[in-house]
Structure 1
């Protein structure tokens, strides 16, 4: 069922908001909130109702709810003062007002220009396996198409990321063309957190366990940030399993085995983690957001604090960061025998462009894709978003072997 109101049309089957028939960008969680308000338009919806329906019972702050309401209003050109569509009912909640016309769903063709917008796969399946040392690893499958595995990296939580305004657009976009497998590495998210061994080999074994549990024989491997050295180490062990290797925003040597400003930045980040982990207004959150998504929205930045609170402890975060910043895969690059695409943003504040260029220049026949962006995590609102996915799809699907 679709819903028309004013110049807008809400299309649940494709998770689109149309304005005068044209798709309008809307973050997944904001879409869910707007859809719920429209469906429940005959009554006032309380904050508890919203938390149950949109956040699935997770604890969220009043400010987070207010931010999502503001984003929903902005998406449909509704001012907080006018409240033409979403009315605040003091001390009771919110109600969607104005005429709504329910329309039976018809076949909808998504415009080519909308290929980069978030929408998405409606379901993920979460399961568990054991790494070689017995560590419990949570993994999730979603989407449809050619098999792709996303290597684990610092800060993931399978359930939170599935609804996150920062990660859900990326997961939805990948799920349009790929059968995606991802997992929470040790010390993070739904995987075991009481861990003391964070060696690179253990992270590779976590990836091996998730791939084997999912029954994958051959696939494309997508490593981002810390996932890049893990993906490289896996490719060195199992080149026959990989049809393609995609390395995005990665590095050859971690900050603490580099010199100069990179090492100083790594030590400063560790100090901020220990003193500001998971605190919404802490200096760490500000520094973290400035590094990772300097052009991110307020909602995306707020989601980082929530992710920190949910995914791991401050001690674990610091231990993971210390281990990651000591990774060094220099000796693996020239030995690699897998078709490789290296992607890097020209002004990445987390991993400097020089690290991406070194990866591409030292891996035989590697292709290099430069993104015009300051963000370490590419977001739908920037021009680099379609470039990223068009590059991945062309590289993997243009020559993907079914075997």
Structure 2
């Protein structure tokens, strides 16, 4: 049974949260930035293994509209407000894509409050230009598989639901079901917070890849599980930078899976996360 409630941050923002399952506390951090929690399947998959807390990040999804601020430090504080509200003592954090970066940032800021980190489909800690060109090339190649979809994607405005579904369809290795699976991500549709997305992506481009970040990761005294879908169009070698830096890391690569590995290899994904929880 879902237990949904709002959490109020120290600056008055209202964050939607949901708590389900039983067992070791696990907090899920969704991707984006500017999107909302799409972890319903993951929460159900892990309900017998963990007390799963999901949340919509500030100004996104079911959380209350707000004017920001759109910074990693603010989102780290919001995540801590969720943890505190639900009285979670050293939960495991699982972050996906942008959420993996957020969960890592939280662990670096508050390692004593984290039992373990599950870093799913992230992009490592090197500067964004080191991998982003390869990603864009693979993104374009996937869209070009069905030229009329690519043409339709180009003509739609940013933030449009249909455009988002077409864009998200490139994330799945199963090309026959890709559009269907992307459509599920957009149900329900809450709209993309473009201001949030633009600001946080710009911050990442400015700040990721610094010597200070590498040093912080090298000193991180938290067990980390890195989970990759082998067929993610974001190059998996980008994550090598993080794997090299971390002193206590395990990496699981799920063959035949794309950017949302739980959707295409649910058994492998559950087994990997279960190991981190135990």
Structure 1 match to 2:169: 289
Match of 1:211 among 83, 98, 105: 83
Contact 1:278–1:306, Cα closer than 8 Å, also in 2: no
- Structure 2: distance between partners of 1:241 and 1:313: 29
State the 1:330 CA deviation.
Answer: 3.8
Structure 1 match to 2:116: 244
> 2:240 aligned with 1:357, yes or no?
yes
- Structure 2: distance between partners of 1:144 and 1:263: 38
Note the alpha carbon deviations across 1:14-40, whole angstroms, 9 max, x for none: xxxxxxxxxxxxxxxxxxxxxxxxxxx
Structure 2 match to 1:367: 250
State the 1:297 CA deviation.
Answer: 4.8
- Structure 1: distance between partners of 2:22 and 2:97: 24
Match of 1:140 among 18, 31, 53: 18
- Shift in alpha-carbon separation, 1:259–1:377, aligned structure 2, 3 A: closer
- Structure 2: distance between partners of 1:238 and 1:287: 34
Match of 1:171 among 23, 38, 43: 43
Structure 1 match to 2:106: 234
Note the alpha carbon deviations across 1:188-229, whole angstroms, 9 max, x for none: 111133324211101101100100010111221111111122
Give structure 1 stretches of 5+ with no counterpart.
1-122, 162-166, 398-403
> 2:208 aligned with 1:336, yes or no?
no
> 2:56 aligned with 1:184, yes or no?
yes
SS in 1 for 2:157: helix
Structure 1 match to 2:268: 387
Structure 1 match to 2:150: none
- Structure 2: distance between partners of 1:182 and 1:216: 13
Match of 1:279 among 137, 158, 161: 161
Q: Which moved more, 1:221-230 or 1:202-211?
A: 221-230
Give the structure-2-normalised TM-score.
0.80
Note the alpha carbon deviations across 1:20-69, whole angstroms, 9 max, x for none: xxxxxxxxxxxxxxxxxxxxxxxxxxxxxxxxxxxxxxxxxxxxxxxxxx
- Structure 1: distance between partners of 2:217 and 2:7: 30
Structure 1 match to 2:229: 345
- Pair member with larger Rg: 1
Higher relative contact order (CA 8 A, sep 6+): 2
- Shift in alpha-carbon separation, 1:372–1:130, aligned structure 2, 3 A: same
- Structure 2: distance between partners of 1:305 and 1:232: 26
Give structure 2 stretches of 5+ with no counterpart.
141-152
Structure 2 match to 1:75: none
- Shift in alpha-carbon separation, 1:235–1:305, aligned structure 2, 3 A: closer
- Shift in alpha-carbon separation, 1:294–1:232, aligned structure 2, 3 A: same
